[in-house]
Amino acid sequence: MSRKFNVAIVGATGAVGVEMQKTLEKRNFPIKSLRLLASSRSAGKMMHCMGQNLRVEELGADSFEGIDIALFSAGGDISRELAPYAVKAGAVVVDNSSAFRMRDDVPLVVPEVNPEDVKHHNGIIANPNCTTTIMLVALKPLHDLSPIKRIVVSTYQSASGAGAKGMDELANQTRDYLDGKELKPHFFQHQYAFNLFSHNTAIGANGYNSEEMKMVYETRKILHDPNIRVCPTCIRVPVLRSHAESIVIEQERQVSVEEALEALQNAPGIKLVNDAANNHFPMPSESNERFEVLVGRVRADLSCERSLALFICGDQLLKGAALNAVQIAELL
């Protein structure tokens, strides 16, 4: 690419905002200028990115003059309030929140899955939920072999999905537990260290929480299939970084394990980790700070015909958030 772009990161001091900076640098994104934006609490802070020291500016409606691409990672309320100002100033917004994901006029994009949808934007492109993104990177090559009709997925979601405060809570509670101190939840409702609990979002009338319903609706939108059936269970686990997912899919025809492995081996954004002889399969510790989604434990479902089971891991801060946003910017 010969052209260079003026880029802004909204929420630059947060966990995802920091990873956005690192990812732009690692992928050698063609930046003409980089503007770091955050709340008044962080304004004035110095951050090092792209070989230069940059001062964080206070975020406001007038922050986007001259910006070509604005990467938002500051929460849905801020996106709803300020993304229209960025678009009005001439920027294309890549938004990491849930604010615009289900709007008909906003494409919801995973570059390895539906890159063609980017061209239909009207100034805003949505980044999917982290669990949906990581899952669909792994499922797209299998969906191409034979359309997926049903997905049953259980997620094991790390502290990074809740941002810096969630990661701090896990680290502090683990330290207190090992020191024999009483564990006092602050950010989460329940004890986090050495514990599991249902994802900390509200349960709806149908018995599913909002994190789970995101996976249902977003999968249908990204795959352009309103009839695909998705049954998710989202669990918070005491892992600092990287989400894991156990997935069972039912397809139109029976895809063999060998066929599936070959497709996964050659698919973009995937690293196959499927060493049965050494019981070596995807692990969060090995997916940390990796761009690829790790995929393994690929096997036939013994309980259902035309069905496969697999296990995956992906870095929530990268492919689940920052990397996917930067890849969308690359498509632009």
Q: What is the pLDDT of residues 273-282, one digit of tens each?
A: 999 999 999 9
What confidence score (pLDDT) does residue 189 get?
A: 94
Marked catalytic residue, from 143, 234, 243, 313: 243
Burial class of residue 327 in the structure, from the number of CB atoms within 10 Å of its CB (0-12 exposed, 13-18 middle, 19+ buried): buried
Query: Does the annotation count 243 as an active-site position?
Result: yes
Give this prediction's pTM: 0.95
What is the DSSP secondary-structure string of 88-118?
Answer: HTTPEEEE-SSSSTT-TTS-B--TTT-GGGG
Q: Cβ neighbours of residue 289 under 8 Å, at least 6 residues apart? A: 241, 315, 318
Q: Tokens for 251, please give them.
A: 């397809």
Catalytic member of 130, 143, 199, 313: 130
Q: Compute the average pLDDT of residues 118-131.
A: 97
Q: List residues bridging with 310 in a β-sheet.
A: 247
pLDDT tens digit string along 82-109?
Answer: 999 999 999 999 999 999 999 999 999 9
What confidence category does residue 2 fall into, taking pLDDT thresholds of 50, 70 and 90?
A: confident
Residue 224 among the catalytic residues = no
Domains and CATH numbers, the chain: 5-128+322-331 (3.40.50.720), 132-316 (3.30.360.10)
